[in-house]
Amino acid sequence: MKKVELSYTLTPGEANRTPGHALLRNPMMDVLHAVRESGSISGAARGLGLSYRHVWGQLRRWEAELGQPLILWERGQAAVLSPFGERLLMSERLAQARLGPQMEHLRTELERAFALAFDGAPDAGLRPDLLTLYASHDHALSELQEMAAHLPDAAGRLHLDIRFCGSVDAIRALNEGRCELAGFHAQPFAGTGSLSARTYRPLLKPGLHKIIGFARRAQGLMVAPDNPMRLADLRDVARLQARFVNRSPGTGTRLLLDELMAQDGLDPIDIAGFDRVESSHAAVAHAVASDRADVGLGTEFAAKREGLGFVPLADERYLLVCLKTALERPALQRLLAVLRSPAWQARVNALTGYASDHSGEVAAMKRLLPWWGEWPRRLPSRLPDTPG
């Protein structure tokens, strides 16, 4: 078994990461991906800003170290990855997709640690510009984190310490005092007796919590390009026994799936692969892209980033929640200012499958969650601890 060593680099503060690039970079994987995309070693070298001789020499060295060919190439023919090279690249992409939230958190922790040195702050715990956020994984949050950390006025910058977890766990972390802000997503127009309402309502208390608008996003079926199975909804997934990949109980997407299945009269046994779970939207998308599954539920952004087809099923609100007593904190006020800014509105609207939606608005529960109202007259005898 090959060993892995991790490394990182420091870049200028104004430099932004290239969309779609992995958080952890590896020269060999970069070359394999570039060859796969360009169909030639010279094209890969140009795309990476390297010389042909350097890339060719690296490929020969890696093949000698691994004992297997990475590239199949004959003069006058397009270069393609060997079967081993394809498996290597697919395995690395799967690991990146599964570990994306944890790697994002690690990157944030490193950036915050170095910010202490560059800004001269003596203690991260005393910083007025630090907000800890537990949240369901969402790409727009990463964009917000990037934007807030690189605002032009150093005095107005904001460090978001994001810990990705399931929606239910995020709100519980807020209630237990482990963070100052939580992020979750829900269908805004679900009924008062819906699973969403029954799950979130016991966790949120009027007078104690405040809801903050963030964004609207599309969720649906992530399918192979051109949707070869012609899947239109979950009933088709069940009828055709399409290989499904799920999310874990406690995540907002699993809650959405349970809600949609209930609406269609489906049980877990009807879905082939219901018990097979992945840890993020990106990991579900990669499972479909690598033909290990036919379909999964996730965001349009994750589907399009992997080059997949997308069948929209739900338009949901991604919301932030904090304790009412935290609203006057300078860091939270700074966050609200960023969310209300035209620059943020434009940035989130530019993301595939996203739209600005009451961004930065501090609202009553029933304004952003219309199902927040009177309980239905008859309730199930037991409310679920976690969705699923």
Q: Measuring CA to CA, how many Å separate 371 from each of 144, 166, 196, 261, 265? A: 28, 21, 9, 19, 21
Which of 253, 352, 234 shows the shortest CA–CA distance to 295?
Answer: 234
**Phi/psi of residue 343, nearest 5 degrees:** -65, -40
Strand partners, 60: none
Higher pLDDT, 156 or 139: 139
- In this prediction, residue 228 has a pLDDT band, given cuts at 50, 70 and 90, of very high
What's the mean pLDDT in 224-238?
Answer: 97
The pTM for the full model equals: 0.71
CATH number of the 128-388 domain: 3.40.190.290
- CA 65/CA 48 separation, integer angstroms: 22
- In this prediction, residue 349 has a pLDDT band, given cuts at 50, 70 and 90, of very high
Helix (H, G, I), strand (E, B) or coil at 294: coil
pLDDT (tens digit per residue) in 283-300: 899 899 989 999 999 999
Whether residue 297 contacts residue 222, with contact meaning beta carbons closer than 8 Å, is answered with yes
Residue 27 has pLDDT above 70, yes or no: yes
**Phi/psi of residue 314, nearest 5 degrees:** -150, 145
Strands (E), the chain: 71-72, 80-81, 130-135, 159-164, 181-186, 209-223, 244-247, 277-278, 295-299, 309-323, 354-356, 362-363
pLDDT (tens digit per residue) in 37-89: 888 888 888 888 888 888 888 888 888 888 888 888 776 677 888 888 888 88
Q: Which pLDDT belongs to residue 240?
A: 97
Enumerate the domain spans of the chain.
1-101, 128-388
Give the CATH fold of the 1-101 domain.
Arc Repressor Mutant, subunit A (1.10.10)
Q: Which pLDDT belongs to residue 379?
A: 39
How many secondary structure helices (H) and strands (E) does the chain include? 14, 12
- CA 115/CA 110 separation, integer angstroms: 8
**Phi/psi of residue 235, nearest 5 degrees:** -65, -40
Mean pLDDT lowest among 11-15, 137-141, 143-147, 220-224 = 11-15
> Across 105-119, 141-155, 283-297, which has the greatest mean pLDDT?
283-297
Q: In terms of DSSP bridges, do strands 354-356 and 159-164 run parallel, antiparallel, or are they unpaired?
A: unpaired
